Amino acid sequence: MTADSADDLYVRTRIEQIKLIYDLVGLTVVPAISVAVILFFALRKPDMEIALSFWLAGVVACKLFQMFDAGRQRTKVFEHSGLNYEVARLMLIHGLDALAWTLLSWISLNSATPTQAILIVAVLTGIVGGAVPLMSPVLPVFVTYALVDLSVLVPRFLTMHDRSFAALALCALPYLLAMTLLARNSSIATMQSIRLRFENLELTRNLRIEAEKSKTAYSEVLEANIAKSRFIAAASHDLRQPIHALGLFLEVLNLRNPRSDQKQAIDDARSAAKATSEMLDTLLDFSRLEAGVVKPRIKAFAVQDIFGGIETELAPRADEKHLSYRTRDTELVGYSDPAIVELILRNLISNAIRYTNDGGVLVACRKRNHDLAIEVWDTGIGIDQKDHSDIFKEFYQVGNPERDRRKGLGLGLSIAGRLAESINASLTMNSVLGRGSMFRLIIPKVDSTPPAEDGANVVEVVVNSGSQVLVVDDDESVRRGMSILLEQWGLVCTAVGSVEEAKSYCASKKPDLIISDLRLRDPVNGIAAIKQIRDNISEEVPALIITGETAPGPLLEAQASGLPVLHKPVSGERLALAIAHAMKSGDLPDRPKASTCQV
């Protein structure tokens, strides 16, 4: 720090100290006047009532002047050259205030009773202690106040010709020294706090200047960061739109009896679309947890099915690190939400591979009373005992002090813990630093085997042929894909892009089912759009919401609407089942025949 900057910092600090004293004056006015009034009535006697009245008026005048003066000084712009004058001015004002108080000893002490004398001494010495936090920001002001107070009191004690008062006079010097040291420490602390604030502001200013100087050099990087942020914000919805439309068109192609070589290509494309959908769903998990909209779907499932799928996905990662990945085959059947259990295990196993450099990972399941214990063992870095209580917290990581993003964000175990809570499962951990870890998930066990799914993943859904379906979506490709697919299923589909178009359609026809996107270009969203359409036809028509939103607010709103909600991208199977369920529960009018849709 240069001499000029140090001098400037001193000046600014001194100005803040002076302003601080003025700011604190207002806190003392009412209490001080109240104490003076109490003393007046406690000490009042006929022979000295006039003197006490003048004393009270003097104290009140001093306090009111201080309050009025402080109000003016707080808005004043202080100059460097006038700081010594401002300090001297404060010393004079507060010195007169101390003098006004201590004159009470010369007025009342001679004729005071022992109790009154104690009261006077306690108040007049106590105000020095009370002045420490109020005047210590500028130490000379406090010293002046204390010296005036004790300089008036000590001679008065000595003129009392009483050994007790003489002893009080002798105690004045140590008392003054003690209060001065206390005020000095308080003054230093205040000064350091003010300087630290100025230094932080100066540092911020310098950083801002440096950032401005570097603006041209880093313009491309900043633009890339801005573009990345915009992409992340939009991806929660917009990325799902084309994938959703792609899934619809693939379902249409699959229904048109393609040749064997075409069918293989279509199946590969559907598998790729499904994998992309699953990755997007994984990114959505934390947002859905935050919004509280993850709802378990409890059913019996074969644990081995989950083990097999995860091994296929994650074993190659272990191979890349030359780790062994072993899964103990099991015929045990769990009773929980298989999708949530799979997500928990995927997070646990991914973490195990990430933090293991030698050895391997073992995944196993065994009976435990009436439950199943699914365990993930690793020979990784382990977790210190002191970190055990924090391991399931958000963004908490061990073995990653440099916050290497290649090691994740520290959300995996947090998501796993919260998902376990959502299905009332127990997720615990045992770990030894340097030797490895074991995570155990406890879920209920059942003896029955879940029904097997056929290899073609074909679902037949019977719907009323000729039912009128109104689709409201502002994306043209989604509207076109939905129209073609629903008509392939034997439904009559009208797809519109806005609420006004939907109302125009309803003027001549009444839909049997409404399917609306949550986010529309209209001022209203899909929930409000469905309500307006229902109000327009005066009937509670069955309805579905389809959304690509990931933000907690819209997810909660969709859940609170009571409408069935599908998250984009929606597979043909899920869409068909949702339509069949909605139309079955919607009390539709009788149709002459039914059609079977195959997905």
Using CA atoms, how far residue 267 sits from 310, 318, 575, in Å, is: 21, 28, 18
Q: What is the pLDDT of residue 590?
A: 42
Using CA atoms, how far apart are residues 590 and 456, in angstroms rounded to an integer? 32
3-state secondary structure (DSSP) of residue 94: helix
Using CA atoms, how far residue 199 sits from 9, 49, 79, 136, 206, in Å, is: 8, 55, 20, 22, 10
> In the structure encoding, which two tokens stand for residue 62, read together?
């001093």
User: Which amino acid does the sequence have at 304?
Assistant: Q
User: Which amino acid does the sequence have at 465?
Assistant: S
pLDDT digit string, tens, across residues 399-451: 544 443 334 434 567 778 888 888 889 988 888 888 889 999 999 998 866 55
Q: What is the pLDDT of residue 360?
A: 92
> In the structure encoding, which two tokens stand for residue 87, read together?
């300090």
Q: What is the pLDDT of residue 218?
A: 61
**Taking the domains of the chain in order of start, what are their residue ranges?**
3-207, 238-293+456-599, 300-446
* DSSP type of residue 403: -
CB burial class (10 A; 0-12, 13-18, 19+) of residue 482? buried
Using CA atoms, how far residue 452 sits from 66, 130, 285, 336, 449, in Å, is: 88, 83, 27, 17, 8
pLDDT by residue for the chain (599 residues), tens only, comes to 555 566 777 788 888 888 888 888 878 888 889 988 998 888 888 888 888 899 999 989 988 988 888 888 877 777 777 788 888 888 998 889 889 888 888 888 888 888 888 888 888 888 888 888 888 888 888 889 888 888 888 888 888 888 888 888 888 888 889 888 988 888 888 888 888 888 888 888 888 887 777 776 667 666 654 554 444 445 545 666 666 667 677 777 777 777 777 777 777 676 666 656 655 665 555 555 555 555 678 889 999 989 988 888 888 889 989 999 999 999 999 999 888 898 889 889 988 898 899 999 999 999 988 899 999 999 988 887 777 666 666 545 555 444 433 344 345 677 788 888 888 899 888 888 888 899 999 999 988 665 554 433 444 555 556 788 999 988 888 888 888 888 888 888 889 888 888 888 888 888 989 999 888 877 788 898 899 888 888 888 899 998 877 666 777 788 888 888 888 777 777 888 888 888 775 544 444 344 555 55
φ/ψ of residue 284, rounded to 5: -80, -20
Residue for token pair 């339509």: 579
> In the structure encoding, which two tokens stand for residue 531, read together?
């309500």
Specify the length of the chain in residues. 599
Terminal alpha carbon distance of the chain: 75
Select from 2.40.50.140, 3.40.50.2300, 3.40.50.970, 3.40.640.10 the CATH code of 238-293+456-599. 3.40.50.2300
Q: What contacts 96, CB < 8 A, 6 or more positions away? A: 62
Assess if CATH 3.30.830.10 describes domain 300-446.
Answer: no
- The DSSP code sequence of 351-398 is HHHHT--SSEEEEEEEEETTEEEEEEEE-SS---GGGGGGTTSTT--S
